[in-house]
């Protein structure tokens, strides 16, 4: 297993400093992180802040709304978290991820009170799962993608159009810690615009300026299924959306706003 995506330098519930590993890098610039790792780190910061500020153990992170206000560097990054609202039904935490002396990512994460609603929404038998008769495979190689087990189910990252994949990060987010559901989904869900790309990677860039994730229930197991589609507009923007599932079926959704531009030579 590769080294964790982030190594703590200092780590407190209200914020910390971390060293991002090389395999956080995205496809456009090896000095900049893919959107997945910093979003997952923001979720971790929110979970720790909410637990420390409220003393509660019955909270489950189920939604993240993030805005990229600058590229996130591969290197030292910081987190700062604060509780914006605390109520019996849930807690809202605001998180900033910074790097290079400036803000890079602004996130708002909701943690909802975990209560039993199985009588109205029972969890049935597992209905699907990643293929077990072949090795994981993916059509595009860059540090972030190479750290993940991918099973392309339909479509391909190299062929324009909708696609579906099973995915599982191999390293830990932070050493010694198990992935939580929203951490895993934020990490993988930021790839929806990539796997369903409608443009040639060599000719165009289509960076997302945000990420919205909504979960209906906890994610079960290590593998996440993502069925994604991209819609392009004629004025320089687009939208990517995905349905997320685990072995029990649909679990949530993602949305991303894309900025379309010719690839710089």
In whole angstroms, give the CA distance from residue 40 to residue 178.
Answer: 12
Neighbours of 42 (CB within 10 A): 28
- Residues 175 and 196 sit within 8 Å (Cβ to Cβ): no
* Per-residue pLDDT tens over the stretch 133-153: 777 778 788 999 999 999 989
Sort 92 into a burial class: Cβ within 10 Å, 0-12 / 13-18 / 19+. middle
Instruction: Calculate mean pLDDT across residues 53-58.
Output: 95
Nearest-angstrom CA–CA distance, 54 and 249: 32
CA distance 7 to 55: 26
Q: What percent of the chain has pLDDT over 70?
A: 99
Domain boundaries, the chain: 6-114+132-262
Give tens-digit pLDDT for 195-215: 999 999 989 999 999 999 999
Model pLDDT, residue 96? 98
Residue 265 has pLDDT above 80, yes or no: no
CATH number, domain 6-114+132-262: 2.40.160.210
CB within 8 Å of 175: residues ≥ 6 apart:
3, 4, 7
Helices 181-189, 36-54: crossing angle, 10 deg rounding: 160
**pTM of the full structure:** 0.95
How much is the mean pLDDT over the chain?
94
């Amino acid at each position: 297993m590769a080294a964790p995506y982030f190594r703590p330098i200092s780590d407190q519930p209200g914020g910390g400093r971390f060293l991002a590993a090389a395999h956080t890098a995205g496809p456009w610039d090896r000095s900049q992180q893919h959107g997945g790792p910093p979003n997952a780190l923001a979720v971790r910061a929110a979970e720790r802040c909410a637990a420390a500020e409220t003393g509660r153990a019955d909270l489950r992170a189920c939604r993240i709304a993030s805005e990229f206000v600058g590229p996130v560097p591969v290197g030292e990054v910081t987190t700062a978290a604060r509780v914006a609202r605390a109520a019996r039904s849930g807690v809202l935490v605001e998180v900033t991820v910074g790097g290079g002396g400036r803000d890079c990512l602004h996130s708002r994460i909701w943690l909802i009170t975990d209560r039993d609603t199985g009588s109205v929404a029972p969890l049935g038998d597992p209905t699907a799962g990643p293929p077990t008769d072949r090795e994981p495979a993916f059509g595009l190689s860059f540090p972030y993608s190479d750290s993940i087990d991918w099973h392309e189910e339909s479509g391909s990252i190299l062929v324009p159009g909708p696609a579906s994949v099973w995915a599982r990060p191999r390293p830990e987010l932070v050493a010694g810690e198990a992935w939580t559901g929203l951490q895993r989904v934020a990490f993988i869900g930021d790839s929806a615009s990539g796997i369903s790309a409608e443009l040639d990677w060599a000719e165009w860039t289509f960076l997302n300026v945000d990420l919205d994730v909504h979960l209906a229930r906890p994610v079960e197991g290590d593998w996440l299924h993502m069925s994604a589609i991209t819609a392009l507009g004629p004025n320089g923007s687009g939208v990517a959306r995905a349905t997320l599932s685990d072995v029990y079926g649909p679990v949530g959704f993602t949305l991303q706003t894309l900025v379309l531009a010719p690839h710089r030579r």
